[in-house]
Amino acid sequence: MPHDFTKYAKYHSLGIQGDLGPITFYTDQRGQTVWYLRAPPLNPPTPIQLVIRGRFEQAAANWRALTTAQRNEWLSLADECNLGITGYDLWTYFSIAHNFEGLTPLELRAGFTVARPPQV
């Protein structure tokens, strides 16, 4: 007898999105949770996909290389500016976009500066 995972998820107040083990969950336009067995990709990643994934991997490695104080500054910047995203998300954006003109107003609003990420 198959299990109704969505019933259990709603019972435990879980809003599941994405992959959970071998199952993919998403919410349809009517607000109902839909699930299906995760399908492996049919084609290998393209060269541009590998480049983009590499940029995200390098941004994550640069984040891990920051000191705890520097990471906390980025986390505080996101909180102080009420952006609705984390400091890690900001770090990743500025690492990839390297658009520091957009960082200056955030620093002015928060009242402190943060370490600039290297371009990836």
Whether residues 27 and 59 fall in one domain: no
> CA dist 19 to 23, 59, 71, 74, 101, Å?
6, 23, 28, 28, 36
Is the residue at 102 inside a domain? Answer: yes
pLDDT digits (tens, 9 = 90+) for 43-99: 999 999 999 999 999 999 999 999 999 999 999 999 999 989 999 999 999 999 988
Is the residue at 119 inside a domain? Answer: no
Whether residues 26 and 57 fall in one domain: no
Residue 114 CB neighbours (<10 A): 22
Inter-residue contact 34 to 25 (CB < 8 Å): yes
Q: Which two tokens stand for residue 41?
A: 């990709």
Q: Which two tokens stand for residue 21?
A: 């083990």
- Is it the case that residue 6 has pLDDT exceeding 70? no
pLDDT at 72: 96
Instruction: Please tell me the total count of domains within the chain.
Output: 2
**Least-confidence region, from 8-17, 24-33, 43-52:** 8-17
pLDDT at 40: 83
Comparing CA positions, the residue from 85, 68, 73, 84 lying closest to residue 111 is: 73
- What range does the domain containing 77 cover? 47-110
Whether residues 53 and 104 fall in one domain: yes
pLDDT at 99: 86
User: At 20, is the pLDDT very low, low, confident or very high (cuts 50, 70, 90)?
Assistant: confident
Is the residue at 21 inside a domain? Answer: yes
pLDDT at 2: 54
Average confidence score pLDDT of the chain: 87
User: At 110, is the pLDDT very low, low, confident or very high (cuts 50, 70, 90)?
Assistant: very high
The b-or-e profile of 77-104 (16+ CB within 10 A means b, else e) is bbeebeeeeebeebbbbbbbeeeeeebe
